[in-house]
Structure 1
């Protein structure tokens, strides 16, 4: 995973790097070190983000009300 792919995955989730660090118990500077020092992103990161993106999509598909129904039944 490249750092650009990492950033894109966070964008899909609507997360900032700080959100990812809190969720994974990483120090807040770790992802910036990956970028700045060219450290390879650990193999668990794309797997973790992939699962989170799958959950995000499932939630959007099956659990969120469609936007046009948001006010239905509140009259």
Structure 2
């Protein structure tokens, strides 16, 4: 996963980096280092974000339409 992929996944989910940190119990500096390319993004991150995106898409299928 590239820093651009990381940003794109967060944007699609509507998350800020702080949201990601809160949900994954990572420090606020960690995703910042990934986003700038200073530190490689660990292999679990794309899997986590992919799972979150799939859940978001599935939830959209069962949510009642907004009136």
Aligned twin of 1:66? 65
* Structure 2: tracts of 5 or more residues without a match: none
Distance in 2, matches of 1:65 and 1:20, equals 27
Distance in 2, matches of 1:41 and 1:24, equals 14
- Secondary structure of the residue aligned to 1:19 is helix
* Structure 1: tracts of 5 or more residues without a match: 71-75
For the pair shown, the structure with the greater C-alpha radius of gyration is: 1
Q: Matched residue pairs, number?
A: 67
Aligned twin of 2:10? 10
Could you list the runs of 4 or more consecutive aligned residues of structure 1 that deviate by over 6 angstroms after TM superposition? none
What is the Cα deviation at residue 12 of structure 1? Answer: 1.1
* TM score, norm. by length of structure 1: 0.81
Aligned twin of 1:39? 39
